[in-house]
Structure 1
Amino acid sequence: MTALMYLHGFSSSPGGNKGTYSRRWAEARGIPFHAPDLNLPTFERLTLTAQVEAVEALLRTLPEPPVLVGSSLGGFIATAVAHRGAALRSMLLLAPAIHFARRRMSHAAWAAYRERGELEVFHYGAGRPLRLGPELQKDLPNWMDDDAWQIPVPTVILHGRHDEAVPLAESEAYRDRNLGTVLHVLEDDHGLLKPASLECLEHELEAAFR
C-alpha cells in the first residue's frame, strides 16, 4: 500500500503542526505514515547530507513509492532525494526552502554563523534554544547546484504569498524549470496554517491518493 512520508523543516520535529496534521489525515484513512526525525546526526551537528541519506534509507524499506510531503527545509530534502533517483509516487511541497544551502551561504542574517561556525537557534521541537555547530556550514557547499536539477516527479507546491522566511519566487522558479509542477499561491505566511491553506493541503493529499 502506498505510504505518506512527511519531512519536517529546520529546527523542527515530526510532531510539529503540519506533521501532526498529516499524520492524523493518514491514520484516519488507514494509510501507512512515516515521519523521520531529521535532526541528524543531532541538531547541533546537523548536515543536509545526513538528512538526505536517512530519507533514502527509509525509502528503500518501503514496498511501494510513497507520496512525499516536505515542509520548508523538508521540501528541499524531498527534491534532493528525487534528484538522486529515489522512487516516489509524487511530491507535495509546503513553502519549500528550495535554495536553503545557497541562502545560508550568503544571507546577511547568517553572517555571524559563517564567521564563528556556531549559532544559537530556537528549536521548536525541543522547545528551547540549541547551539548549531559548524558541520552544517561545511556541508552546505555540497548542495548548491539545485538550479540544475530536473526532477521528473509529479509535484504540487503550496506557498504563502506573505512568506517572509522563504521567498515565493523560489517556488515560482522551481515550477518554471520543472514541467508539470503545480503551484498554489495562498494568502498565508510560512506556517501555512490558516483554514484555507489546510483545506488546500487536504485537497491535495486526497488527490495524491486517488
Structure 2
Amino acid sequence: MTPLVYLHGFASGPGGSKGTHCRRWAEARGLPFHAPDLNLPDFEHLTVTAQVEAVETLLAGLPPAVVVGSSLGGLVAAAVAHRGTALRGLILLAPAFGFSLRRLAGPRWAGYRRRGTMPTFHYARNAWTVLQRDLLEDLPAWRDDRTWHLSVPVAILHGRRDEAVPLAESEAFVAANPGADLRVVDDDHGLLDPASLAVLDGLLEAAFQG
C-alpha cells in the first residue's frame, strides 16, 4: 500500500497543523503515514544534508511513497527525488527553493553570517533557541536547487501573499520542470486557509489515484 510521508518545515515539527491535517487525511483512508522529525541532528546543529539523508533512509524501507513537503521540507523532498529515490509523487507546499541563496546572500540573515549563530523561535518547542553555524556551513551544498529537473510527478501549492518564500521561486521551478502542476491560492506561507487545505486534499486524492 502506498504510504503518505509528511516533511515539516524550518523551526517546526511533525505535529504541526499541516502535518496533523495530512495524518488525518491518511488515517481516514487507511493509508500508512509517516512524519519524521527533521530537527537533525538537533535543531541547534541543523543541516539540510542530515535531513535529506534521514528521509532517504526512511523511504528506502517503504514502497514508493507520496511525499508532502512543507517549506524547507519541500526543498528536502525535492532533493530526495533529485538524488534518485523512487517516489509515487511529490506535493510541495510553498517549497523553500532558493533557501541557500537567500540565507547566504540575503540581508535578513546577515547577522547569522557575521556571528555564526542566530536566535531562532522554534514553533514546535514554543521556545527560543540558538541556531549554530552548522546550517550556514552546509548550505552551499544545496545552492543549485533551481537547476533540478525531477522526473517524478510534482504538484506545488503556493500562496500569492507568501512573505517567507517568494512565489517566484515556485514559478522558476515550474519553468524548469514544465510538467509540474502549480496551484496559486490567496493565502500566506502557512497555507492554512480552508480553501488552501481543500486544494491540498484534491492534490492528495490525485496523487494516490494517479
Q: TM-score, with normalisation over the residues of structure 1? A: 0.98
DSSP 3-state at the match of 2:85: coil
DSSP 3-state at the match of 2:91: strand
CA displacement 1:87-135 (0-9 Å, x = unmatched):
1010000000011111110110100000000001000011101110010
Q: Aligned letter for 2:208?
A: F
Q: Aligned letter for 1:102?
A: L
Give the alignment of 1:186-197 within 5 angstroms: 186-197=185-196
Corresponding residue for residue 86 of structure 1: 85
Corresponding residue for residue 104 of structure 2: 105
2-structure distance, mates of 1:204, 1:57: 25
Q: Any stretches of 5+ residues in structure 2 without a counterpart? A: none
1-structure distance, mates of 2:19, 2:105: 29
2-structure distance, mates of 1:13, 1:134: 21
Q: TM-score, with normalisation over the residues of structure 2? A: 0.98
Corresponding residue for residue 46 of structure 2: 46
Q: Aligned letter for 2:42?
A: T
Corresponding residue for residue 125 of structure 2: 126
1-structure distance, mates of 2:169, 2:196: 19
Using the TM superposition, give the Cα deviation of residue 193 of structure 1 relative to its aligned residue in structure 2, in angstroms. Answer: 0.6
DSSP 3-state at the match of 1:68: strand
2-structure distance, mates of 1:175, 1:124: 30
2-structure distance, mates of 1:130, 1:14: 18
Which segment is superposed worse, 10-19 or 140-149?
Answer: 140-149
Q: Any stretches of 5+ residues in structure 1 without a counterpart? A: none
1-structure distance, mates of 2:100, 2:79: 12
DSSP 3-state at the match of 1:159: strand
CA displacement 1:52-107 (0-9 Å, x = unmatched):
00000001010x10000000000000110111001101000000001111111011
Q: Aligned letter for 1:41?
A: P
Using the TM superposition, give the Cα deviation of residue 148 of structure 1 relative to its aligned residue in structure 2, in angstroms. Answer: 2.0
Using the TM superposition, give the Cα deviation of residue 208 of structure 1 relative to its aligned residue in structure 2, in angstroms. Answer: 1.0
Give the alignment of 1:166-205 within 5 angstroms: 166-205=165-204
Using the TM superposition, give the Cα deviation of residue 179 of structure 1 relative to its aligned residue in structure 2, in angstroms. Answer: 2.4
2-structure distance, mates of 1:165, 1:147: 17
1-structure distance, mates of 2:187, 2:178: 25
DSSP 3-state at the match of 1:36: coil
Give the alignment of 1:17-166 within 5 angstroms: 17-62=17-62, 64-166=63-165
Aligned residue pairs: how many? 209
DSSP 3-state at the match of 1:44: helix
CA RMSD of superposed structures (Å) = 0.6
CA displacement 1:124-168 (0-9 Å, x = unmatched):
011101110010001011111112211111000000000000000
Q: Aligned letter for 2:180?
A: T
1-structure distance, mates of 2:185, 2:163: 13
Corresponding residue for residue 6 of structure 1: 6
Using the TM superposition, give the Cα deviation of residue 194 of structure 1 relative to its aligned residue in structure 2, in angstroms. Answer: 0.6
